Every structure is written in structure tokens, then in C-alpha cells.
Amino acid sequence: MFRILKKQALTDQIYLMNIEAPRVAHAAQPGQFIILRIDEQGERVPLTIADYNAEEGYVTIVTQTVGYSTGKLCTLNEGDSIADFAGPLGRPSELVHTDLDLLRSKKILFVAGGVGTAPVYPQVKWLHEHGIQADVIIGAKNKQALILVDAMRKVAGEVYLATDDGSEGYKGMVTGLLSELVEEQGKKYDEVIAIGPMIMMKFVCLTTLKYGQKTTVSLNTLMVDGTGMCGACRVTVGGKTRFTCVEGPEFDGHQVDFDEAMRRQGMYRTLESRKERMAQERAEGHACKVGLDL
């Protein structure tokens, strides 16, 4: 069992938790993810690692209540335990394998959308710990939906905020703010790393293509079983089929077929609803013999 050491509400639907998992914490690197099960009857939920502390032996996750399993997870409190917490999984960010002198010579911008701010944070923190200051754009629907802003400001160079309604920072999409930084403020970035909703990453890539900026995206939203076996994480990159769970989650954003990826997401919405319904039925003691086997 893996104990919840800390629980913090970031918004009314997004929660941060520190999970006691020493082995995972010691092996974790920025860009990786874990898979958890709340109990023996629960479904496997892949979540990107939002932070980790090897000395204290915990891993931080950030969860949004979007379905039955994530909703149930967010009802747990400090001192409660979850059954399984497997990881770290996936490939670490390419940043951790890049020569530090080369990284210091670059100007890097992260673009984080919504809950995508959580997996951006450990990468920015890692750079900060190695003497590299990256800039960050954080986007959300409104001021209340912005997360980890104060934490990000402690490790980033400049933090720029964008909200759809203009309640905080730039009014509009993150792509509009990106263009303003480049075209009006004269900011020069060698590399952009975007993590967030699929549609946001698509338009970030279309924007950076105009400026000739290398762009990396994290396709963590495609993951289902976390092992590549279910095939839900298939994505076309540069004309070739790749599996996000085992070959990613990071890919060259200018090579990703986002339209195909978004169509696949749409296909699995109905499937995910069935999984959530069956998970709830099993939790209530029903043994459904028709449909998906969770």
C-alpha cells in the first residue's frame, strides 16, 4: 500500500498529492509517469509525475476529476493509502540526456496548458537545479483554473500567464501570447516544449513552425494502460507509428499527426465511459460478465 502524505486542492477539481513511494522517487526523472490503482478492483490510471523527492521518498501527482476513478482518487485524504503505484514509466525528457553546456547556450520556452502545467514543473525545476533558467507560459480558462504559478516562479526565468477571459495576465490563447513575445517583445527562443490539451499543442506547433523553433510535445493524454499493449497510445510521427507509453511521451511536435491523434481520442471517449461505469459497478460489488474486462 502507498500512503498519501499530503493532499492539496489546487482548484475545485484539481488536487495535488504526495504519495509515499521511495523506490519510485529514487528512480524518477522529469517527463516520466506512473500507473496507480486505488484498490484491488480499481482500473489502472496513468498520471505524469509532477515532482519527486528521493530523500523523503515521495512522488507528487496532480489529478483532475474527469471520471469515476479520478473522482474516487480525489476523495481520498492524507493518511489514506492506494493499492498500487507503479513506475517510473516512459522515457525521461530528452533534456536530462542533453549536454548541459549545450542547454545553457539555448533559450528555452515551456508552454503549459491547464493540468499540463504539472508535468512542465519538474522539467523547469530540473533545469533550474542545473543553473538553467527557462521561461514558461501557463494558460487556463480563467484565473481560478491556473495552477502551480507560485511554485513555477521559484524555478523559472520569466513566467507569463494567459487566460481565455483575461481575468489574469494576457487575454487569449497561449499561442497569441507566444506570438506577442516573439513579434512584439523581441524574445528569441531556440526551443519550445509544449504540454497540455492536444488541440493546444497542435496550434503551438503551427505557431512555432513559422518562427523556425524546434518544438517538443508530450502526448501523455493518449496513455491508457501505460504499457503500449492496448494500442490506444498509437500516434503517427514523421509518417511512422509510434507508441506513446513506451517510446514517449515526448515527440517532435512538428512531426506529430495531431488530427489523427485527436480522432483517436474521440474514439476512446465512449470506451472510457464504459470502463468508468464498469469500474463503479465492480466497486459496488457487481460482477459484469459482458463488455470490457478491466
Q: Which domains does the chain have, with CATH numbers?
A: 2-89 (2.40.30.10), 94-217 (3.40.50.80), 219-294 (no CATH)
> Using one digit for the tens of pLDDT, what is the confidence trace for 200-231?
999 999 999 999 999 999 987 777 666 666 77
Pairing of strands 135-140, 58-64: unpaired
| Percent of the chain residues past pLDDT 90, beyond the cut | 68
State the Rg of the chain over Cα. 19
Phi, psi of 117 (to 5 degrees): -65, -30
Specify the pTM.
0.86
Cα-based angle 126, 110, 36 (whole degrees, multiple of 5):
65
Measured CA to CA, the distance from residue 239 to residue 128 in angstroms comes to: 35
Indicate the pLDDT class of residue 41, thresholds 50, 70 and 90: confident
Inform me whether the pLDDT recorded for 95 exceeds 80: yes
